[in-house]
Each structure stands twice: as C-alpha cells, then as structure tokens.
C-alpha cells in the first residue's frame, strides 16, 4: 500500500502533493514501483495534528481520486473517518475505506454498511491531538487491541457489514509508547486469531526515529527491517512511503522461502 498524503502537514511528505497533478504523478510513480493499493488521505493524523473541515478534506482528495481512477484501475483506499468523505470517495472511484477511528465516528458505521466496500479498522487510543500524551495499557497492549477489535467487529456485524469485508490495523504509533509498538509487532500473530487480514503502517514513524536517533528522511533501513519482520509474521498489507525499496526487500524474502520450500 503506497502512501499518498494530500496534506500540508503530514510528518514525512507534507506539502509535496497538495497540487492535484503532483499527487497524480506520485500515485502513478508508486504504481510503477509496484504498489497494489494507493492510500489517499487529506487530513494529517500524526501526533498532535489538528482536524480539518469536511470541505477542505473533500477538496483535497476527491479530485485526486477522480484523476487517478481515469488513469489507472489500481485499488484506491480513502484514508478518512468522515462518513461524507467515505461516500464521496467511493462514488469517485475509491475501493477501500481506511479509518483510524474504526468506524466510531457518528454515522460512519451506517455509511460503511451502505457502501459495502472493504473497511480497515484501526486501533487508536485517544485521537491524534492527544494520543501520545501518556498512553497506557492496563492489561497489556496486545490484549487490549484484540479486545478492541473484537468489539468493533461485533459492532460492524450488527450494523450489517459483512465480516469478510473487514481488515485490521493494530495502529503502530497511534496512542502507543515505543515499547507498545515493539510488543505489538513482535506479537503480530495474536491478531490473526481474529481471522482477518492484517494491515500495518510502520513506515518512517517516530518509534524508528527514537530507536535509531534518525530524522524521517533517514529511517528507511529501520522501516524495511520492521516491514520484513512483519511480512515473516504473515502481515498481508504493508503501508509504506517507500514502495520500491519495500518491494525489493520482500522479493528477496519471497525467493528465500520459494527456493527452500
């Protein structure tokens, strides 16, 4: 899953793709590099990020989705928690809803049920504006995420969303300390007990920077290391800024397994 942030303030590529044509060219470049999915977002969800209005988000993402859909049949994911954006994006050609609130915002469950497209439910403690202010997991981060997913899956089913349309993202970096992020990655197999594909977004995040003492533009090696470990654990979708490099690493891993199976 290639990341396309149509925002001025995302932590790694904020401001680079605000212009529709720039966003389109980057999306096409990610596809050429091997992206299977393009994840388009119009609101930064980095720690302490401020929310944007519905109108601003729609203005940012819908023209990009429409142009990309005319140029390519690639799977498009809309990274939003607003029901109105979900609807407009799917009507414009998006195929997947990627929601950091796991459909907990008013109207989101109903809208997702009406649209009947795949939905990624992400775990987040708090919200972007406060999620990194002393996150705490009384019963352990893995157990609490599993419990959260169990509750959200049930809510989705009660709303009429087919269980087969759900993906799960444990939310690396969303309301979690470094130790929490490392524990959830090391124990990724626990999430597979829920019977759904796992999506993971670890690309260039702050935990990597804190461990390696590197700024965002120097976190590629750390990102690839986590990506490979996650792939070996069975993660089905890796959300990354660095599609070509991640593909290369995964190709080597694939060949190792293929030649020794």
Active site residue 104: no
Task: Residue 45: name the closest of 19, 75, 12 by CA.
Answer: 12
Alpha carbon distance 125, 174 (integer Å)? 7
Handedness of CA 223, 229, 230, 234 (dihedral sign): positive
Q: CA-CA distance, 174 to 184, in Å (whole number)?
A: 12
Helix axes 108-115, 141-158, angle to 10 degrees: 60
Output DSSP code: residue 255: H
Residue (of 61, 69, 73) closest to 5 by Cα position:
61
Place of tokens 């007990």: 193
- Which residue in this structure is represented by tokens 């954006």? 85
Round to whole Å and give the CA distance between 175 and 184: 12
Distance, in Å, from the CA atom of 243 to the CA atom of 224, rounded to the nearest integer, reads 10
**What is the rounded CA–CA span in Å between residue 63 and residue 17?**
12
Catalytic pick among 82, 176, 204, 239: 239
Identify the active-site residue in 46, 82, 205, 219: 205
Catalytic status, residue 239 = yes
Give the active site residues: 205, 239
């Amino acid at each position: 899953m290639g990341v396309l942030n149509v925002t001025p303030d995302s932590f790694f590529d904020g401001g680079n793709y605000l212009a529709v044509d720039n966003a389109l060219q980057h999306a096409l470049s990610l596809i050429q590099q091997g992206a299977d999915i393009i994840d388009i977002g119009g609101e930064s969800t980095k720690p302490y990020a401020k929310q944007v209005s519905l109108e601003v988000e729609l203005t940012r993402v819908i023209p990009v989705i429409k142009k990309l859909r005319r140029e390519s049949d690639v799977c498009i994911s809309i990274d939003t928690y607003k029901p109105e954006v979900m609807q407009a994006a799917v009507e414009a050609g998006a195929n997947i809803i990627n929601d950091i609130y796991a459909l907990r915002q008013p109207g989101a469950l109903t809208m997702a049920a009406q649209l009947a497209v795949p939905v990624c439910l992400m775990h987040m403690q708090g919200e972007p504006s406060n999620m990194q202010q002393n996150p705490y997991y009384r019963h352990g981060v893995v157990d609490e995420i599993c419990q959260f997913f169990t509750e959200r899956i049930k809510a989705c089913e009660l709303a009429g969303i087919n269980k087969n349309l759900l993906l799960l993202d444990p939310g690396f970096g969303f309301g979690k300390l470094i130790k929490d992020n490392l524990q959830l990655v090391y124990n990724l197999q626990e999430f597979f007990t829920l019977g759904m594909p796992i999506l993971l977004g670890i690309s260039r995040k702050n935990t990597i920077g804190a461990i390696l003492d590197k700024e965002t533009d120097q976190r590629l090696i750390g990102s690839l290391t986590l990506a490979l470990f996650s792939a070996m654990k069975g993660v089905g979708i890796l959300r990354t800024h660095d599609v070509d490099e991640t593909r290369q690493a995964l190709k080597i891993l694939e060949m190792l397994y293929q030649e020794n199976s």
